[in-house]
Copies of this chain bind each other. A is one copy, B any other.
């Protein structure tokens, strides 16, 4: 249960109808605003306005922009083990295809979502860069590459990351017209062989 202050007036204790929903609405609004403006450009005021909530309530619940960023963007529940398992489940020769398709399908559903927020926030925000690295390399690509048992797993993971991150920037952040509207199958067909070569091919 959460305390719900009604803003600048004296804080009232105890759960109130809609409290959890309001909190969830704030987290959604925060994620949207961080996606659109990045960490530095996002303001508590803009986030509160997006959720139609008094700005004081945002401070009450999350304490600071940093805290809100952590909860809205970084701590998004994510079934990492499940994801790594699904990527590894199948022919290694088609792992590149599974990575590209899984990434695009997840991101398209969320309009780029958390990933775009991390990329945009990476600007002046070292922590966002660490989380982007942890998310992509440490938690997903490095374990997958190690499980496959290739040489240079870390460098290969890094190469895969460059291609996947580049797609995300062009499609969700910079939103180059033609590429943002291209359907997933066409991108997978074109890009999967790249990622496959970075995983199992000759990279010298």
Contact = CB atoms under 8 A, between A and B. Distances in A.
A36 B197 CA distance: 33
Oligomer: number of copies: 2
Contacts of A175: 129
Interface residues of A, number: 46
Interface stretch (A60-68, A69-77, A165-173): A165-173
Contacts of A203: 189-190
23 contacts: A36-B123, A37-B40, A38-B38, A38-B40, A41-B123, A122-B169, A122-B173, A123-B173, A129-B173, A132-B174, A154-B178, A158-B170, A158-B178, A158-B182, A159-B191, A162-B163, A162-B167, A162-B191, A163-B166, A165-B166, A165-B169, A166-B167, A189-B203
Interface of A: 36-41, 119-120, 122-124, 129, 132-133, 137, 154-155, 158-159, 161-167, 169-170, 173-179, 182, 186, 189-191, 193-194, 197-198, 203-204
